[in-house]
């Protein structure tokens, strides 16, 4: 770094912090002092890791860095903060997608810090620190929007300026004081005109305001203030900030920012999107695994679509669902279009089974459902390699897609727009929509390979920023995140900043 630039840095410090930092300039001169943009980038990236609150070391480092401002140790703390960021980026770069979703990260290795110290100094000496730090931002679509949203949330009071009420389902036609409170809250949030009188009636204006609020928050826009709407309205700022920070970590995958094509299922949102060139080109409601049979979080590549699939009961369903029913009624399978096969592939009569065999979970047997409209998989199945034997598929119970909470399956993901998804992923193959329809009509199972690589992501994002710039917050359906709390070592630095 040139002598003139060093002098400019020192003048910047004096102008920013006062003459008392002349000593600081002398102390840190050996390592040089990063410019304001680099300082802010270190603080911002460290803050994101700290707020995610999966390891207290990041909050401790952030607190130490901020507390060192205006002190001779500030330059050293900036270097340490850089080391924490680099250590995290390196050790998480090759982490499995599933571990990233569950926030299973190795601890920071202080033994690596001398390497980062040398790297930091070299970047300073070659005037490349700021550019390098920007390149270290996680590969997340709309990353800068997430950062702005996080800082905005941290600058808010943790308690929303809303009037509380004891939960009850409020819908068109409801009356009472709780309706008035709901209306006042909708006015505070900007979804209902403040000049409208509150007469204790859930009228058409209230319904429209609730719908608009639900749309903006990623909820089913049914105009009914049920529990999810209630919970979202009164969710604490801490939880929303942690959700945003964790999404910034969970979504860090280069494929998602490369502008290619991929299928993305977000379990808390209970929706599927197909993205191409950074835009959603197909979206669908989905049904995900219930809490005791959770949909696994992983990434894979779509390999084929099965038209008119048969269904083989997975071992868990065979043992937990069908075995108890067979104990009560050996004719249960025949009544529901299911066939029992032995280990050699021959059809077996359930009447031959002993109670002991059934109680053990039918070892050596398979239960298979033939193709057709009554099949549990519906008419379409989307296969991709994974160790959990799960897949996307349609269903013979489409009414469940209308439910607000759709954590109902045994682990696989049911897709409402499965026909549209099949036509989309097979669009550049010999399987035209007309050919697909003809095969479906015949009712015979057929495998249709996809022609190019389409990644599939199953994620756990409790917050998401859409293409419209809206921030959506979703319920923690599996309890993975728990009561999200911004670490006190971070919160204290943002206290009293609301409105600034």
Low-confidence stretches of the chain (pLDDT < 50) are 1-31, 499-500
Hey, is 230 helix, strand or coil? helix
Query: In the prediction, which pLDDT does 467 show?
Result: 84
| pTM greater than the 0.85 cutoff | no
Q: Which residues lie closer than 8 Å to 291 by C-beta, 6 or more apart?
A: 407, 477, 478, 479
> In 10 A of CB 120, how many CB atoms?
25
Q: Which two tokens stand for residue 197?
A: 């009188």
Give the length of the chain: 500
Nearest to 25 by CA among 37, 39, 10, 5: 10
Confirm if 282 and 475 have CB atoms less than 8 A apart. Answer: no
Q: 312 burial class (0-12, 13-18, 19+ CB within 10 angstroms)?
A: middle
Confirm if 388 and 295 have CB atoms less than 8 A apart. Answer: no
Q: Which two tokens stand for residue 313?
A: 């009961």
Is the torsion defined by CA of 481, 484, 486, 489 positive or negative? negative
The full set of domain ranges for the chain reads 3-147, 255-459
Q: 43 burial class (0-12, 13-18, 19+ CB within 10 angstroms)?
A: middle
Q: Which two tokens stand for residue 6?
A: 């060093």
Q: Which residues lie closer than 8 Å to 429 by C-beta, 6 or more apart?
A: 448, 449, 450, 451
From CA 477, how far away is CA 231, in angstroms rounded? 13
The third-level CATH classification (topology) of the domain covering 255-459 is: L,D-transpeptidase catalytic domain-like (2.40.440)
Q: Which residues lie closer than 8 Å to 121 by C-beta, 6 or more apart?
A: 31, 32
Q: What is the dihedral of CA 87, 93, 97, 99, to 10 degrees?
A: -20
Confirm if 303 and 384 have CB atoms less than 8 A apart. Answer: yes
Q: Which residues lie closer than 8 Å to 274 by C-beta, 6 or more apart?
A: 261, 262, 263, 264, 280, 281, 282, 283, 421, 424
């Amino acid at each position: 770094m040139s002598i003139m630039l060093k002098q400019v840095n020192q003048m910047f410090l004096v102008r920013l912090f006062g003459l008392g930092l002349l000593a600081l300039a002398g102390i840190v001169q050996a390592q040089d002092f990063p410019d304001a943009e680099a300082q802010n980038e270190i603080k911002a990236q460290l803050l994101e890791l700290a707020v995610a609150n999966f390891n207290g070391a990041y909050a401790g480092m952030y607190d130490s860095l901020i507390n060192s401002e205006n002190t001779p140790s500030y330059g050293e703390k900036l270097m340490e903060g850089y080391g924490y960021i680099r250590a995290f980026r390196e050790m998480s770069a090759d982490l499995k997608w599933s571990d990233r979703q569950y926030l299973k990260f190795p601890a920071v290795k202080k033994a690596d810090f001398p390497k980062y110290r040398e790297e930091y100094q070299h970047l300073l000496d070659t005037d490349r620190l700021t550019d390098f730090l920007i390149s270290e931002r996680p590969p997340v679509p709309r990353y800068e929007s997430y950062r702005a949203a996080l800082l905005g949330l941290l600058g808010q009071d943790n308690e929303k300026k809303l009037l509380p009420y004891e939960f009850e389902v409020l819908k068109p036609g409801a009356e009472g004081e709780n309706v008035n409170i709901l209306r006042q809250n909708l006015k505070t949030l900007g979804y209902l005109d403040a000049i409208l009188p509150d007469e204790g009636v859930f009228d058409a204006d209230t319904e429209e305001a609730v719908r608009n609020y639900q749309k903006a928050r990623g909820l089913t826009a049914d105009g009914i203030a049920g529990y999810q709407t209630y919970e979202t309205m009164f969710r604490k700022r801490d939880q929303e900030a942690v959700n945003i920070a964790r999404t910034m970590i969970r979504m860090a995958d280069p494929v998602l920012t490369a502008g290619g094509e991929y299928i993305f299922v977000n379990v808390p949102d209970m929706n599927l999107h197909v993205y191409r060139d950074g835009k959603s080109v197909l979206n669908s409601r989905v049904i995900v695994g219930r809490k005791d049979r959770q949909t696994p979080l992983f990434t894979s590549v779509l390999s084929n679509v099965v038209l008119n699939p048969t269904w083989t009961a997975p071992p868990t369903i065979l043992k937990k669902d069908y075995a108890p029913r067979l104990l009560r009624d050996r004719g249960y399978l025949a009544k529901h279009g299911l066939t029992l096969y032995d280990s050699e592939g021959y059809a077996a009569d359930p009447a031959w089974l002993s109670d002991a065999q059934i109680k053990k979970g039918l070892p050596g047997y398979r239960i298979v459902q033939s193709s057709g409209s009554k099949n549990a998989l519906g008419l379409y199945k989307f296969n991709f390699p994974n160790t959990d034997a799960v897949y996307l598929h349609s269903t013979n119970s489409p009414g469940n897609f209308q439910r607000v909470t759709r954590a109902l399956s045994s682990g696989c993901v049911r897709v409402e727009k499965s026909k549209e998804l099949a036509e989309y992923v097979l669009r550049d193959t010999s399987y035209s929509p007309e050919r697909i329809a003809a095969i479906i009509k015949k009712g015979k199972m057929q495998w249709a390979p996809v022609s190019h690589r389409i990644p599939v992501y199953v994620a756990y994002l409790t917050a998401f920023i859409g293409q419209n710039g809206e921030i959506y917050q979703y319920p923690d359906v599996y309890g993975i995140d728990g009561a999200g709390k911004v670490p006190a070592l971070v919160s204290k630095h943002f206290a009293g900043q609301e409105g600034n």
